[in-house]
Each structure stands twice: as C-alpha cells, then as structure tokens.
Amino acid sequence: MSEASTALREPWPDLARQREGVTFGIWIFLATEVLFFGGLFLGYSVYRTLYTEAFREAAKETEIFFGSINTVVLLTSSMTMTVAVRAADHGYRRLTLICLWVTLLLGLGFLTGKGFEYNDDLTKGLFPGPGFPLPQPQEQIFWAFYWVMTGVHAIHLSVGIGVVAVVAVQLQRTVIKLESGTLTAVGLYWHFVDLIWITLVPLIYLVDRP
C-alpha cells in the first residue's frame, strides 16, 4: 500500500483536497470557538464597565507571578508546535516527534503552574461565596469570571494536550502519516488556545497594573 492511499479517506478524491478540507474545517471550528469565548468576554466587559472600581480592586489579588511564568511557558510551546508542523512538512520525522513531546511537556508545565496558582488563590479564600475576603460584592463577580475563564481555558488546553499525545503516539507507530494534514489542524488548535490565554492575561492580571 502506498503512503498516499492510507492517508486518503472517503469521500475525498485526492489527498490535496482532503488536506484543504480538513484545514477549512478546523478554521470553521476555530470560528465557533471565538464566538464561544466571545460570549464570556462580552459578559466580562459589561461588568468591568459597570464596576470599574471593584474590578480594579479585585484584580490586585491575582498572582501576576504565576501569570507571567505561564505566559512564557505557553508562548514557548506555541513555538515548538510551529517547528513541529514545519518539520512535518519537510518530512523530518525525528524533529517533529521531539518538538511534539516538548510541546506536550510545556503544556503540562502550564497546567502545573496553574495548579499552584489555584492553590494559592484557594488558601487566600478567593473562591466566591459566603465569607469571601474582599469587601465589595462586585469583586466576587470578577473572581467568578476569573475561575470560569481560566477553568474553560484549562479544559481547552487539557484537550489539546490529549490530542497532541495521541497524534505523537500515532506518528511514532506510523498509524498516521506526516503528510496527512492532521498535524496542521492540531497546530492551529494549539495556537488558538495560546491566543485565548494572551487575551486573558490583560483581563485578569493587568487590570490596574501599568
């Protein structure tokens, strides 16, 4: 069996169109993701305009230390992901695999950092509810969004890590081929998750920090 025939699936006439189709599909999927997070950011913006003062106060409690480290980690992972995709395009198997595994480790690193940050937040009692330490009730709204936004992002990242792991293993076992286009799609998704984080950073950590 030739390489091309295994990568090709029903109902596509040829590999080039199939790759085009998969890429098109993933772009549409990313458009839905933009709208998904759009709803969230919209809610956040409404409240931030309504309660500028409270949001400023509440954001002072966030851990910019973890925020910065995690940003660097995630940006690096995007870089290694780009290298992986390019390497696959040129047929460098080993480099592709190494970069995928590094990307995966960086993703896990991000989640670990986030875990420490959550832990700190929780010890400070910053989960909205009775006995919340900050005085104004609107500050709880900020923290509600903090948990939901970072939580949803973390779920997306975990999915990404899972997918990268599966793809890496399948590549290793040559279940899928370098040129099948899967990697391009995974790469786009990974960059998207990164992009969401870049959007979140100013909303969470930089509200009143010049």
Partner 1 sequence: MTAITVVDLPPPKPASYLDEGHTVWSWLTTTDHKRIGILFALSITVFFFIAGVAIGLVRLELLSPQGLFLTDDEYNRLFTIHGITMVWFFLVPSIPTTLGNFLLPLMIGARDLAFPRLNLMSWYLFTIGGIFTIYTLWAGGVDTGWTFYTPFSTLYSNGHVIAAAFGVFVTGFSSIATGLNFIVTTHMLRAPGMTWFRLPLMVWAIYAVSLVMVLATPVLAMSLLLVMAERLLGVPIFNPNNGGDPLLFQHLFWFYSHPAVYIMILPAMGVVSEVITCFARRRVFGYAGMVFALLAIAVIGFMVWGHHMFVSGQSPYASLVFSFLSFIVAVPSAIKTFNWTATLYRGHISFESPMLYALGFIGLFTVGGLTGLFLASVPIDIQAHDTYFVIAHFHFIMVGGSVTAYFAGLHYWWPKITGRMYLETWARVAAIFTFFGFMMTFMPQYIMGWLGMPRRYHHYADVFQIWHVMSTGGAGILAIAYVLPLIYLPLSLIRGARAPANPWQATGLEWQTPSPPPKENFEHTPIVTTGPYEYHPAAEPGLAEMQRPHRTQTEDA
Partner 2 sequence: MNISAFTTEASSHAATIDRIFYGLSTISIVIVLLVFGLVLGFSFRYYRGSKAKRGRLPHILQNEFEIGWTAATFFLFMFIFWWAASTQLSALTPPDHGLQIHVVAKQWMWKVQQPSGIREINEIHAPTGKPVVLVMTSEDVIHSMFLPALRIKKDVLPGRYTYLWFTADNPGTYMLECTQFCGTSHSRMTGRIVIMKPADYAQWVTAQPQTRGLAQEGEALFRSFGCSGCHARESSVHAPDLHGVFNHMVHLSDGRTIVADEAYIRDSILQPRKDIVAGFQPIMPSFKGIVSEEQLVRLIAYIKSLSVEKEVQQ
51 is a site residue for partner 2 (CB under 8 A): yes
Q: Which stretch binds partner 2 (CB under 8 A): 27-35, 98-106, 130-138, 154-162?
A: 130-138
Helix (H, G, I), strand (E, B) or coil at 137: helix
Residue 37 dihedral angles phi and psi, to the nearest 5°: -70, -25
131 is a site residue for partner 1 (CB under 8 A): no
User: CA–CA separation, 104 vs 118, rounded Å?
Assistant: 21
Least distance from C-beta 163 to partner 1, angstroms? 15
26 is a site residue for partner 2 (CB under 8 A): no
User: CA–CA separation, 143 vs 60, rounded Å?
Assistant: 11
User: CA–CA separation, 58 vs 69, rounded Å?
Assistant: 21
- Site mask for partner 1 (CB under 8 A), range 6-35, x = bound: ----xxx----x--xx--xx--xx-xxx-x
53 is a site residue for partner 2 (CB under 8 A): yes
- Cβ closest to partner 2, residue 56 vs residue 86: 56
Q: Which of 19, 71, 84 is nearest to 201 (CA)?
A: 71
- Site mask for partner 1 (CB under 8 A), range 175-204, x = bound: ------------------------------
136 is a site residue for partner 2 (CB under 8 A): yes
Sequence length of the chain is 210
- Cβ closest to partner 2, residue 134 vs residue 167: 134
DSSP code per residue over 4-59: HHHH--TT-SSHHHHHHHHHHHHHHHHHHHHHHHHHHHHHHHHHHHHTHHHHHHHH
Q: Which of 148, 147, 66 is nearest to 112 (CA)?
A: 66
141 is a site residue for partner 1 (CB under 8 A): yes
- Chain residues in the site for partner 2 (CB under 8 A): 51, 53-54, 136-138
- Chain residues in the site for partner 1 (CB under 8 A): 10-12, 17, 20-21, 24-25, 28-29, 31-33, 35-40, 42-43, 46-47, 50-51, 54, 127-129, 137-138, 140-141, 143-145, 147-148, 152
